[in-house]
Amino acid sequence: MKLKRTKTRELVYKELKKSQLPLSAAQLFSNLENASLTLSSIYRTLNAYLKNNIILKQTDSNGVSLYSLNKEEHKHFLICKTCESKITLDYCPYHLINEELKTKHGFEIDEHNVVLYGTCKNCTD
């Protein structure tokens, strides 16, 4: 199914594309406040993008949904529960785990989506 191009869809797509980290609907709304969009139109766009596999959805430790573009390469994030800083990993630490699961259990991972929560170096010092 091909999605119709709308102003909201184009703006949300561009905002997700330029972001290095996943964004919540509220963050998108805040970032696009000068575009006269409603929060409900952003949610409708995100739902349409999810149904069409254009974006990925994650849930943070507070239950907030975060969205990012569904790119060929995937990323993993480390999020500090104290200061909420986010670190993007530029590699996948799960390749060895995926191979082990395939060898031991015959289970082949097609995709995964992981956010790791903990405390960053600045907050532990």
pLDDT tens by residue, 6-52? 999 999 999 999 998 899 999 999 999 888 899 999 999 999 999 98
Q: Residues with Cβ < 8 Å from 118, sequence gap 6 or more?
A: 78, 79, 80, 81
The pTM assigned to this predicted structure is 0.62
pLDDT tens by residue, 45-67? 999 999 988 898 988 878 899 99
Burial environment of residue 37 by CB neighbours within 10 A (0 to 12, 13 to 18, 19 or more): middle
Other C-beta atoms within 10 Å of 68: how many?
20
CATH number assigned to the domain covering 76-124: 3.30.1490.190
The highest-level CATH class for domain 7-69 is mainly alpha
Residue with tokens 């091909």: 2
Numbered ranges of CATH 3.30.1490.190 in the chain: 76-124
Residue with tokens 């972001």: 19
Give backbone dihedrals phi and psi of 65, rounded to 5 degrees, phi first: -75, 135
Q: What does the alpha-carbon distance between residue 39 and residue 57 come to, in Å, rounded to a whole number?
A: 17
Is pLDDT of 90 > 90?
no
Numbered ranges of CATH 1.10.10.10 in the chain: 7-69
Cβ atoms of 107 and 66 within 8 Å: the answer is no
Q: What is the pLDDT of residue 72?
A: 61
